[in-house]
Every structure is written in C-alpha cells, then in structure tokens.
Amino acid sequence: MAKVTYISTPTQKQQAKEQAEFKRKQRELEDCRDLRDDTMSAAKAGVAAGRLLTRFGEHDGALESLTAAASEARKTPDHVGLLTEVLHALGTAQANSGSDAGIATLDEVIALAKRGGMFEAAAALQAQVDEHLDNAVKENEYHELVTWN
C-alpha cells in the first residue's frame, strides 16, 4: 500500500514544493551529465576512428571523422585536454593533406595549451608546425626549381 502524507501547514507545503523542485533539478543535472559523457565519448570515438582510418590510408574518411569529433569536443570546452587532443589530430590530418586550415587548427591547439599552462607541450607542437612549414617551403622551392629547368 502506498504511503500517503498529508501536508497541513503552509511551511510543510513550501518544503514539499522545494523538495520536489530540488529532485527535478537533480534529474536535469544527471541528464546533462549523461549528455556530456555521450559528447565526450563521441569525440574520443571520432579521434580513434580518424587515427585508424589514417593508418589505412583513408585520409578523406579520417578528416570527416576528426571534423565531427572536433565539433563534439567543442561542446565540452571545460575539458581542455580532450579538445586539444582532438584538435591536434584534426590539425595534423589537415596539414598532412595539404590544407591551410591545418596550420590554423594547430595554432589554436598551441594557444589552448599555453592557456592551460602546458608550455612544454605548446613548444613541442610549435616546433612540429615550424618543421612542417619548413618542409613545405623546401618542397615548394624544389618544385619551382624543377619547373624552371
């Protein structure tokens, strides 16, 4: 048999109303946590899929997967580590495919790392970007040299 509680005083009514509101807000918070966890899982899965596709030479599929992962990771900006991981993978894939967007994405990762106090990681990534740009310049000079001869 169900328990029936009779509320007789205005204070008891107010307390019951506040308790019901608290429980409703608690359920909403749990739903938000579940959604955040789903978003984070989707971002992590996208990075894993992107790396796997890259390993098998499916660069277009990898870019698509990493782009989707980046949009999911941006929904949880409080998780800087996840966002930097996803954007680093995306920027690397973009740069390796010859897209100028890759350097911009990697610059964003460097800025995020610096803001998060990860100065060594930012410096290491900056060195990778500089090396990539140097190689691109050398390759371009080589192509110009071959074209002129």
Largest distance between two CA atoms of the chain: 98
CB 70 within 8 A of CB 84: no
CB crowding 42-51: b at 16 or more within 10 Å, else e: bbbebbebbe
pLDDT band at 5 (very low <50, low <70, confident <90, very high): low
Distances (CA, A) of 140 to 105, 123, 136, 146: 22, 25, 6, 10
Quote the crossing angle between the two packed helices 59-73 and 10-55, to the nearest 10°. Answer: 160
Q: How far is CA 52 from the centre of its chain?
A: 17
Residues 6 or more apart whose Cβ sits within 8 Å of residue 68: 42, 46
The whole model's pTM is what? 0.65
Counting every residue written for the chain, the total comes to 149
- Which pLDDT belongs to residue 12? 78
Q: What is the pLDDT of residues 46-98, one digit of tens each?
A: 888 888 888 888 888 889 989 999 999 998 878 888 898 999 999 989 988 88
- Which pLDDT belongs to residue 117? 83
Residues 6 or more apart whose Cβ sits within 8 Å of residue 90: 50, 63, 66, 67, 69, 70, 102, 105
Q: What is the pLDDT of residues 107-141, one digit of tens each?
A: 898 898 888 887 887 888 888 888 877 777 767 66
pLDDT band at 30 (very low <50, low <70, confident <90, very high): low
- Which pLDDT belongs to residue 140? 66
Which amino acid makes up residue 114? K
- Which pLDDT belongs to residue 57? 83
